[in-house]
Chain A
C-alpha cells in the first residue's frame, strides 16, 4: 500500500494541476466520474467534448466553486481539495466563466481593479488608492490588453456582449497567474476578437499554463500542445492535437457530430 501511495505522490509532485479519482454528483447525476488528470506547469491543454460532457464541472472542481464529491485535487503539489476558492486564487490559480460573471453595477476599470486588488494585499484597506500607485498601471495595462480603453469608465451592465467576454478574460489575467482555466473564452467574440484572443494566449509567458475549453477548433488546436477529450463525465482520450483530429472515435463522437 505504501509503495502505491509513494508512487502516486511522486507522480503528482511535478504537476501544476493533479486530479485523482475526482467524482462530482449533482443529485443522482454524475457530472464527473473518476477523473484522473495531470497537467504540467506551463502546459497548455484543451478540454473538448459535447455539451454536458462535464467540462465546466471539471473546472469548478479545480477552482473549488463546486468541490468534488470524492477524489483529490492538487495545485502545484498542494492538496487543495477542501480549500475555499479565494485561497486557490491567491496561490496563482485563475479562471474565466462560460457565462460571464462580472460586476454589472461597477465600471470596467473598477472590475479590473477588484481583480488586481484581490490577488494583492490591502483587500480590506479603508484608504483609497492613489492615481500614481503601481496597481493602477496594471489595471490600465489589462484594459489595454483586451482593447477596452474607450469603455473603461462605462458601467459593465452597459457593455456589448463581446466586450463583456473580453473583460471576462482580463479578470483572469490579473496579478501573477501560475495557471489559468478558460471556459469557452471565444464564445460570443467576433472573428477579429477571436484573433485577439489567440494573440493574448500565445503571448502569455511560457511558465503560465492553462486549460482551455473551446468548441471552436480553429482557436483551440492553435493554442494548445495537448488535448483531453471528455464524454459523459469521463475522459476517453488524451493526446496531441494532430492525433486527436484524426482519431476515428473523436470524429464520430465529437467532430462529425454536428455539436452546438
Chain B
C-alpha cells in the first residue's frame, strides 16, 4: 500500500517541528499541486478548462464515490445525480437563458442553497440505502439515479424537459469575473484540492477510520459501540457535499445542464472513473478522471486518423475498463503501488 504508507501513516497527527518530514513525505502531491497552480502560465484555454478543469470537477464527483466505496464499502451510483441536483438548482434558483423558470436570485443565495438541497437529497438517498449492503446499495442508488433522470426529462415547469438549461455562468465577485477561463480554472482547482485534502485528512480522523471499520466489519462496529446506520448516512452527507460542489463547477464549466448530463451513461462514467483510477486512495478519482477526459477528447480523432469509426471511442473506454478490472482490481493506482513496492525492499508493514 505505497500511497497510504507514504502519505497517511498515522492515526495521530504529526507533532510540531515535523514540517520538513511532512513536506518530504508529500513531495509528489505538492509537486503536482505546484504544476497545477503554475499551469495557466503555459497552457491555453482549451487545455486549462476543457482538459484539466473538466478532469478536476469530474474528479470531485468520482472522489465522492471513492470516499463512500473505498472507505465505506458503499457503491453509490447516485453521486452524479447529486451533482446534477446541485447543477439544476443553480440554474433554477440563479441565472440561465430561461427567465420563465430561473429565479435570478443572487449567486450567494442561489449557490449555497443549491448545494444544500443536493446535500439533503444525498443524505436522504443515503438513509434509504444505509441498511442495505453490496448489490442492494447499488440497485437502490441506481433506482434513485433513474428516477431523477426521468423526472428531469419529463418535467417542463422546473427542469425544462430534455432541453434543460443553457447560459448558466459562474458569478462575478471580489472584482473577478469567475466565468473567464483562468479564474474559473483556479476556482475549480481550489475546490478540487480542498476536497482532496479533506478526504485525505478525514480518512485518518475518527470519522474516516470508523467508516473503514464499517466497510471491513459492520457487525463488529456495532459490537464496539458504533451506530453503523448513522455512520453510513453521515458519510453519504459528506460525500454529497463534495459531489454537489463538483456538480455546480461542472455546470459553470459547461455552461449548460440537461437530462443527458445525468443520464445512465454519465452515472456509469463516474463508476468507471473511480474504479479505473482506483478506490484505494483519493488520488485515484482524479487519475481516473484525467484518463477519461483525455480519452473522450482525443480518442475520436485518434480513431479517425487510423481509419476507424470515431464512435468506437466508447468501445475503447469499455475495453480499457475491462483490462484494468481484470489485471488490477485496485485500478491505475494499484498498478502504481505494485510497481513502486517492487522497487522498495520491504513493503509489508504500515507505520503508524
Please give the residue numbers on chain A whose beta carbons come within 8 Å of chain B beta carbons, in ascending order.
Answer: 63-65, 84-86, 89-90, 95, 97, 101-107, 109-110, 113-115, 117-119, 122-133, 136, 152-155, 158, 171, 174-175
Contacts and interface: CB of A to CB of B under 8 A. Distances in A.
Given A104-B216, A123-B210, A114 B224 contact: yes
Interface stretch (B58-66, B145-153, B226-234, B320-328): B226-234
A131 B14 CA distance: 7
Contacts of B216: 102-106
B206 A102 contact: no
Contacts of A89: 222-225
Nearest to A131: B12
A97 B210 CA distance: 19
Contacts of B228: 86
B19 interface: no
Contacts of B223: 63, 65, 85-86, 89, 95, 97, 101
Contacts of B13: 128-131
29 contacts: A65-B223, A84-B227, A86-B223, A89-B223, A103-B216, A105-B212, A106-B213, A110-B11, A114-B209, A114-B213, A114-B226, A118-B226, A122-B206, A123-B207, A123-B231, A124-B207, A124-B231, A125-B206, A126-B202, A129-B11, A129-B13, A129-B205, A131-B10, A133-B12, A136-B12, A152-B352, A153-B350, A153-B352, A171-B224
B315 interface: no
B11 A118 contact: no
Contacts of A107: 350, 352
Contacts of A65: 219, 222-223
Top 3 A-B residue pairs of the complex, sorted by shortest distance between their CB atoms: A118-B225, A131-B12, A118-B224
B342 interface: no
Mostly, the A contact residues are loop
Contact of B217 (A64, A103, A132): A103
Nearest to A157: B216
A71 to B, nearest CB: 21
B344 interface: no
Contacts of B21: none
B282 to A, nearest CB: 15
Contacts of B210: 114, 117-118, 123-124
A123 B226 contact: yes
A17 to B, nearest CB: 16
A113 B11 CA distance: 9
B189 interface: no
B349 A126 contact: no
Contacts of B221: 86, 114, 118
B181 to A, nearest CB: 34
B204 interface: yes
A174 B224 contact: yes
A90 B351 contact: no
Given A153-B349, A153-B350, A154-B350, A106 B209 contact: yes
A158 B11 contact: no
A125 B352 contact: no
Nearest to A63: B223
B206 A155 contact: no
A95 B223 CA distance: 7
A106 B1 CA distance: 12
A207 to B, nearest CB: 20
B220 A103 contact: yes
